[in-house]
Amino acid sequence: MSERVTNILLVGVGGQGILLASEILSETFMLAGYDVKKSEIHGMSQRGGSVVSHVRYGQEVFSPLVPEGEGDILFGFELMETYRYLPLLKKGGAVVVNDLEIPPSSVLMGQENYPEGLAEKIREKFPDFLLVDGQGLAREAGNLRAANTVLLGAVSRRLDIAESYWMQALEKMVPSKALDVNRKAFQLGRELQG
Amino acid sequence: MREILSGNEAIARGAYEAGVKVASAYPGTPSTEILENVIFYKEINASWAPNEKVALEVGIGASFAGARALVAMKHVGVNVAADPLFTLSYTGVKGGLVLVTADDPEMHSSQNEQDNRNYAKFAKVPMLEPADSHECKEFTRLAFELSEQYDTPVFLRTTTRISHSKSIVTLADPVCDLPVPALVKNAAKQVMLPSNARVRHPLVEERMRKLSSAANTMAVNRMEVRDTKVGIITSGVCYHYVREIFPNFSTLKLGMLHPLPMEMIREFAAAVDRLFVVEELDPFFEEQIKAQGISISGKDFLPLCGELTPERIRKAFAGQGIVVDSATAHEEQSSAVSLPGRPPNMCPGCPHRGVFYALKHLNAYVTGDIGCYTLGFLPPLSTMETCVCMGASIGNASGVVKAVSEEERKKVVAVIGDSTFCHTGINGLMDMVYNKVPATVVILDNRITAMTGRQDNPASGHTLSNEATHRMDIPELCRALGVRHVRVVNPFDLDETETALKEEMERPEPSVIITDKPCVLVKRVGVFQRGPLYVVDTEKCTGCRACLKIGCPAIQWHPNDGVRGMSHIDPTLCTGCDVCRQLCKFSAIGRAK
């Protein structure tokens, strides 16, 4: 069991299910015997604002916030928000991001353009980069709504946590009727080569 | 048994373990989830009150009857509850009473960032502050014990980072053998006439003296001597930030913020070479410690505004020549692309959108209030001039009308939501009628307390436990207050809404317009109903962008490389509210075939 604290940041847009994903991560780490802390801001998030959730685990975790520039993994649910939070990552940190663009209001109204080529720009800065077709793989697993579980699977490969703990956490956090689809979605994500 | 709980969930668990019988609150970020989790413990009678003052009064009644009572609110809620609070300090309690104040440094979801530690000193009430979820549970239990032991209400203070962070909590069994609540008469202690209150005040002072002394040996105040070159006095989440950045420095962690353990502080000061205090917002500890003649430094280099974070603390200490091991110090990165912002927005199909569009069209001067509709301030609607506190819009409108010319006063419209109207808006309307102020009030009745995450209220027809109850009749209430012109409109009908507004704004009398479409997020079956899907006819769309003026997240501008750009409706987001169709002069928007 590693001594140091591992820092994960989940970022995206309010309403994407980021809080549930961060709960599943935290549950997994607790089951694996680690100390865990997580932090995020609720409230405005459901109204389509930018969301960031911090999850930390290790032998003993003090701050619930990941100190800036110490993130090990940036787990992005949307491209522009992932790019926005890159400064939270440490040099050489890993990025796992959903291949999804959600335009903010200024872009919807035609006042600004959604920035182009973000995936490539992220890869230039952080070569340990995995772009995930969350929606496509979720459809393959049997339900579009399981995109977040695909992403969780992709992130799980980068963490030294036995698969059984991930499965236990999914069983606890996901409604039983959706469990099979989510197990499959998780495996599809976990099998991706970064 | 171990569980990962948020601070709020842990406080709810602590209330259960402490044998709480009654819990009352008004929702407010970051405190809302406390009561939402208390309802899972069937032993507790938990309810939403229309406002924080009533919540505390319910708690006081339960306490006087001998039950343990939990009352929860956000920091600004304590302002509303301050009237009963200050006198409760004199009466003391019978069953323990704990008041949770959830402060919001950084104003993640608030209109100010007042430091409610000051209330502890002001009201002469002890205050505990946990630093993680396990402490949230333990301190809740302790707070009830202290409350009964010292005959005082006790504050439990959290901040957003404690309320909404999760960490591991070890669960315990609830206490047993608490006295059974019953009617016991004790008027001299509970009827605060001057003659009785004069007897109580010296007892309050005596209680605080005893607590002051006991603070020095309380386990929640903890001296941790490591490297003695630097000592830091801190509390709450800042304790963990300090331990994160300076793992080797000595710390004095304060679990009780008021009264302070001055002997322990003096001992700690003597044990270290340089003494600092790390506290968010006001120099609450610092001023009291300095008043004791102890040399300490804090707000001369740490910010007074906003929350502290590991980075902010690290940078501030670096400015004092105290630099940590560079292994954890991060490299600054520059963002090469400037990104569009992502402000929150009203949801697709939100019933507030059309109202603000009409108000903007009429060039109204809108006094605003606290709720989702405060987003009417943001572009492209940009139609709100004031937002001060819960219930303020109506009083603000009256004041503006009294100050300006007869022509200008026609422009003044107050907007307020159903929950906020119940909270403290009713009195404002009473004043408007009583004093004959000719302003217009729009009550945006979306059948829920939306911004805090869909809590029920007296006008929603359901209780916290989802039981059906009387639904307050807002139009009847307005009429009973004396408003002669009360109209209910469909906010999705732009003509109807604008006509009603125009007529009532012209009317030289107080008037109320109520919108009656529910929040799209209400999950209760039969309240919100999705309409037909709308699409843009690409043959008819001229690219005039009129439909973009309402800022609906479902409508996206497709520039088509500058060649005949046009709007597109996202079928996964459209709720079929019909508002955009009414904006299109070319009949290019219609129901999908």
Taking residues A139-167, report their average pLDDT: 96
**Pick from A27, A65, A112: which is nearest to B310 by CB?**
A65
Q: Is the pLDDT of residue B330 over 90?
A: no
Q: Is the pLDDT of residue B73 over 90?
A: yes
E-only strand ranges, B425-525:
440-444, 485-489, 511-515
Q: Three-state DSSP class for B175?
A: coil
Is residue B150 within 8 A of residue B207, CB to CB? The reply is: yes
Nearest residue on chain B to A36, alpha-carbon basis: B167
Q: Three-state DSSP class for A169?
A: helix
CA distances from B80 to A111, B1, B50, B389 (A): 42, 38, 11, 10
Give the Cα separation of B43 and B22 in Å (integer): 9
**Pick from A41, A81, A108: which is nearest to B160 by CB?**
A41
Q: Is the pLDDT of residue B574 over 70?
A: yes
pLDDT value, residue B550: 96
Closest CA to B68 of B97, B47, B35, B89: B97
- Sign of the CA dihedral with B185 first, then B187, B189, and B192 last: positive
Give residue A123's identity as a one-letter amino acid code: R
Any chain B CB within 8 A of the CB of A14? yes
Hey, which residues 51-90 in chain A have their CB within 8 Å of chain B? Answer: 61-65, 67-70, 80-81, 83-84, 86-87, 90
CA of B557 to nearest chain A CA: how many angstroms apart?
Answer: 5
Taking residues B122-139, report their average pLDDT: 98
Residues of chain A found within 8 Å of residue B547, distances taken between Cβ atoms: none
Closest CA to B310 of A37, A84, A113: A37
Q: Do A39 and B346 touch (CB under 8 A)?
A: no
- B542: tokens are 């001229």
Any chain B CB within 8 A of the CB of A114? yes
Whose structure tokens read 């300006």? B404
The answer as to CATH 3.40.50.970 being correct for domain B2-215 is yes
| Helix residue spans in A56-157 (DSSP H) | 79-84, 105-108, 118-125, 134-141, 147-156
pLDDT value, residue B325: 62
CA of B459 to nearest chain A CA: how many angstroms apart?
Answer: 22
Would you put residue A23 in left (φ > 0), alpha (ψ -120 to 50) or beta?
alpha
Domain B534-591, CATH class in plain words: alpha beta
Q: Do A67 and B245 touch (CB under 8 A)?
A: yes
Residues of chain A found within 8 Å of residue B241, distances taken between Cβ atoms: 62-63, 65
Give the Cα separation of B481 and B477 in Å (integer): 6
Nearest residue on chain A to B106, alpha-carbon basis: A41
Structure-model confidence comparison of residues A1 and B233, the more confident one: B233
- B86: tokens are 């200050």
Q: Three-state DSSP class for A72?
A: strand
| Cβ neighbours around B49 below 10 Å, total | 25
CA distances from B256 to B162, B214, B382 (A): 16, 11, 44
Whose structure tokens read 């490539």? A120
CA of A9 to nearest chain B CA: how many angstroms apart?
Answer: 14
Taking residues B462-483, report their average pLDDT: 98
Q: Is the pLDDT of residue A23 over 60?
A: yes
Is residue B443 within 8 A of residue B372, CB to CB? The reply is: no
Give the Cα separation of B54 and B480 in Å (integer): 22
Q: Do B333 and A35 touch (CB under 8 A)?
A: no
* Correct CATH for B352-515 of 3.40.640.10, 2.40.10.480, 3.40.50.720, 3.40.50.970: 3.40.50.970
Q: Three-state DSSP class for B581?
A: helix
Q: Do A48 and B344 touch (CB under 8 A)?
A: yes
Is residue B386 within 8 A of residue B412, CB to CB? The reply is: no
Give residue A98's identity as a one-letter amino acid code: N
Is residue B89 within 8 A of residue B153, CB to CB? The reply is: yes
- Sign of the CA dihedral with B179 first, then B185, B188, and B194 last: positive
- B71: tokens are 């009352």
Q: Do B164 and A39 touch (CB under 8 A)?
A: yes
Least confident of B394-408, B455-469, B505-519, B561-575: B561-575
Q: Do A43 and B132 touch (CB under 8 A)?
A: no
Residues of chain A found within 8 Å of residue B551, distances taken between Cβ atoms: 105, 108-109
Closest CA to B319 of B336, B302, B342, B344: B302
Q: Is the pLDDT of residue B83 over 90?
A: yes
Residues of chain B found within 8 Å of residue A38, distances taken between Cβ atoms: 4, 165-167
**Pick from A67, A108, A121: which is nearest to B336 by CB?**
A121
Buried b (16+ CB within 10 A) or exposed e, A54-63: bbbbbeebbb
Bridge partners of residue B222, in order along the sequence: B253
Give the Cα separation of B444 and B418 in Å (integer): 6
Q: Do A63 and B335 touch (CB under 8 A)?
A: no
| Cβ neighbours around B103 below 10 Å, total | 28
Q: Is the pLDDT of residue B331 over 70?
A: no
pLDDT value, residue A41: 81
Least confident of A2-11, A184-193, B131-140, B322-331: B322-331
Give the Cα separation of B259 and B221 in Å (integer): 11
Taking residues B25-37, report their average pLDDT: 97
Q: Measured between alpha carbons, how far apart are the two ends of chain A, in Å?
A: 24
Q: Do B132 and A14 touch (CB under 8 A)?
A: no
Please give the order of strands across the beta sheet that includes B127-128: B45-48, B22-25, B69-74, B97-103, B154-159, B127-128, B256-258
pLDDT tens digits, B535-572: 999 999 999 999 999 999 999 999 988 888 999 999 99
Residues of chain A found within 8 Å of residue B330, distances taken between Cβ atoms: 67-70, 90
- Compute the residue count for chain A: 194
Q: Do B166 and A105 touch (CB under 8 A)?
A: no
Query: Would you list the domain boundaries of chain B?
Result: 2-215, 222-318, 352-515, 534-591
Give the Cα separation of A61 and A38 in Å (integer): 10
CA of A88 to nearest chain B CA: how many angstroms apart?
Answer: 9
Bridge partners of residue B25, in order along the sequence: B48, B72
pLDDT value, residue B327: 45
CATH annotation of B222-318: 3.40.50.920
Mean pLDDT of chain B: 96
Is residue B543 within 8 A of residue B534, CB to CB? The reply is: no
Residues of chain A found within 8 Å of residue B168, distances taken between Cβ atoms: 30, 35-36
pLDDT value, residue A194: 67
- B420: tokens are 């906020």
Give the Cα separation of B174 and B19 in Å (integer): 6
Bridge partners of residue B102, in order along the sequence: B74, B158
Q: Do A62 and B244 touch (CB under 8 A)?
A: yes
Q: Do B559 and A67 touch (CB under 8 A)?
A: no
Q: Within 13 A of B321's CA, how many CA atoms are on the CB side? A: 2
Taking residues B87-99, report their average pLDDT: 98
Interface test with A, best of B330, B342, B357, B522 (most A CBs within 10 A): B342
pLDDT tens digits, B216-272: 999 999 999 999 999 999 999 999 999 999 999 999 999 999 999 999 999 999 999
Q: Do A64 and B559 touch (CB under 8 A)?
A: no
Give the Cα separation of B312 and B332 in Å (integer): 14
Q: Do B161 and A64 touch (CB under 8 A)?
A: yes
Q: Is the ipTM of this complex over 0.90?
A: yes
Bridge partners of residue B416, in order along the sequence: B443
Nearest residue on chain B to A92, alpha-carbon basis: B331
pLDDT tens digits, B405-451: 999 999 999 999 999 999 999 999 999 999 999 999 999 999 999 99
Q: Is the pLDDT of residue B129 over 70?
A: yes
Closest CA to B393 of B438, B358, B353, B427: B427
Q: At what angle are helices A179-190 and A134-141 packed, to 10 degrees?
A: 130
Pairing of strands B534-536, B589-591: antiparallel
Q: Do A44 and B380 touch (CB under 8 A)?
A: no
Q: Is the pLDDT of residue B577 over 80?
A: yes
Hey, which residues 32-51 in chain A have their CB within 8 Å of chain B? Answer: 35-50
Q: Compute φ and ψ for A130, nearest 5 degrees.
A: -130, 120
Residues of chain A found within 8 Å of residue B307, distances taken between Cβ atoms: none
Any chain B CB within 8 A of the CB of A30? yes
**Pick from A26, A63, A104: which is nearest to B4 by CB?**
A26
pLDDT value, residue B13: 98
Q: Is the pLDDT of residue B593 over 60?
A: yes
Nearest residue on chain B to A104, alpha-carbon basis: B342
Whose structure tokens read 């505990």? B128
Domain B352-515 matches domain B534-591 at the CATH topology level: no
Q: How confident is the model at residue B7 (pLDDT cuts 50, 70, 90)?
A: very high
| Neighbouring residues of B548: CB distance < 8 A, sequence distance ≥ 6 | A108, A109, A110, B380, B555, B557, B567
CA of B199 to nearest chain A CA: how many angstroms apart?
Answer: 45
pLDDT value, residue A46: 61
Mean pLDDT of chain A: 94
Residues of chain B found within 8 Å of residue A118, distances taken between Cβ atoms: 337
The CA-CA-CA angle for residues A67, B345, A41, to 5°, reads 25
Fold classification of A6-107+115-190 (topology level): Pyruvate-ferredoxin Oxidoreductase; domain 3 (3.40.920)
Q: Is the pLDDT of residue A2 over 70?
A: no
With a pLDDT cut of 70, the percent of chain B lying above it is 98
* DSSP secondary structure code for residue B119 in this structure: H
Closest CA to B326 of A57, A150, A69, A6: A69
Any chain B CB within 8 A of the CB of A122? no
Closest CA to B167 of B12, B31, B15, B5: B5
| Helix residue spans in A157-193 (DSSP H) | 163-173, 179-190
pTM of the shown model = 0.97
Q: Is the pLDDT of residue B334 over 60?
A: no
Give the Cα separation of B429 and B415 in Å (integer): 12
Give the CA dihedral B157, B160, B161, B163, nearest 10 degrees.
Answer: 70
- Pairs across A and B, CB distance < 8 A: 168
